[in-house]
Amino acid sequence: MIQPIETFVLDIIRHNLLGKKLPTNHHGEAGRACENLLETIGISINRGSGCDIPQLGWEVKSRKETATSAQTVTSMRPEDIISTSYRESPVYEKIRRQLRFTSNDSNIIIDIDLCDFDQKQIQDLLEEAYEHARALITANPDLCYTPYEGHWGYFEKTKKDRPELDFRLADGQMEKLLAMTSSNFEAIFDYDC
């Protein structure tokens, strides 16, 4: 659930950054530009490990509204995946709360939302996917792709020149998770699976 202070900060961000132009979305340029824009309005960005805005527990993500490719949460080395449970992983840290910038085909920021993925029903789906992929990588540390077979996320080696694997969600999966963040599910149902 989004807290009043978060709503206040989000309103400031929207007021100052909606309508700004971003560079290309290739090679993470748009995402880095969003971080730079946030710094211009006084929001400290963590450029090391951990979430991007640690004071609020927010990860910054950018996405073109017409994009259909899988969305990357974060990267991990295979040996770290094997030795790290979901709740201790950077995947968990970086998917809980995302400040999502949406741009149009002209690379203009048209929407900024704070998405609360830190809901039990969502986290259970992500944990199951992570642990499924972790088991596959434990059995075969040289695996470059973990078939997701109905799970909500997978690991994939997206760059041949580095050892890390990216934890990703197919576009359709992310769209469903985003819809879950704005539903009243938790207010209506007692989720205890």
pLDDT in tens, 123-172: 999 999 999 999 999 999 999 999 988 899 999 999 999 999 999 999 99
Span 110-124, mean pLDDT?
96
**CB atoms closer than 10 angstroms to residue 10:** 17
- What is the pLDDT, as a whole number, of residue 59? 97
The alpha carbon of 38 is separated from its chain's Cα centroid by a whole number of angstroms, namely: 17
Please tell me the distance from the alpha carbon of residue 75 to that of residue 157, in angstroms, as a whole number. 9
**Quick one: pLDDT at residue 2?**
81
Residue 188 resides in a domain: no
Q: Are 72 and 166 in contact (CB under 8 A)?
A: yes
Q: Is there a domain that residue 191 lies in?
A: no
Residue 28 has pLDDT above 70, yes or no: yes
Rounded Cα distance, 56 and 124, in Å: 22
In this prediction, residues 43-71 reach a mean pLDDT of 95
Q: Is residue 133 part of a domain?
A: yes
pTM, two decimals, is 0.90
In a domain, 192, yes or no: no
In this prediction, residues 74-93 reach a mean pLDDT of: 97
Residue 189 in any domain: the answer is no
| Count of domains forming the chain | 1
pLDDT average, residue stretch 5-17: 96
Whether the pLDDT of residue 183 is over 70: the answer is no
In a domain, 193, yes or no: no
Q: What is the CATH number of the domain that holds 79?
A: 3.40.600.10
Residue 171 lies in a domain: yes
Mean pLDDT of the chain: 93
Whether the per-residue pLDDT at 175 is higher than 70: the answer is: yes
pLDDT at 192 over 70: no
Chain centre to alpha carbon of residue 170:
12
For residue 190, tell me if it sits in a domain.
no
Full residue range of the structural domain in which residue 161 is found: 4-182
